[in-house]
Amino acid sequence: MAYNNFGFPVNYQPMQMYQQPMAQQMQQPQQSTSGLIWVQGEGAAKSYLVAPNTTVALFDNESQTIYIKSADASGMPSIKVLDYTLRDVAPTRQISGKDNFATKEEVSALREELDALMAKFNEGSVQK
């Protein structure tokens, strides 16, 4: 192993005392793989930086709130707050195989009824 003039190994790097600036220690919003940006509360939404002429949707992970944050051409931000609620959607009716098709008798009866109406129409006896 090679040593430098101070008696330390050549690849030795002394531990550096470094403290991150306060702004970097704050928790940053999380962007999910779906592209949604999650923030913690209205304060985090207000402090989220938006580039000029840009609008972003920020989703609050503490409440059912969406913040729409925009910045105009000069970089002046504005924010709109949307509260959302979940609603139940009625399940779609599942039709059994038996309900999907008419029987031959039903089709024949419908055909006879249609033929009778067409005959009346052709005779001119159908009233409006």
**pLDDT reading at 108 higher than 90:** yes
Mean pLDDT of 15-25: 55
Name the residue with higher pLDDT: 40 or 92: 40
| pLDDT tens per residue across span 43-59 | 999 999 999 999 999 99
> How would residue 95 be classed by pLDDT, with cut points 50, 70 and 90?
low
Number of alpha carbons in the 13 Å side-chain half-sphere of residue 88:
2
Q: Where are the domains of the chain?
A: 26-83
Q: What's the pTM?
A: 0.48
Average pLDDT of every residue of the chain: 80
Residues 6+ apart with CB under 8 A from 106: none
Residue given tokens 């009716």 in the structure block? 93
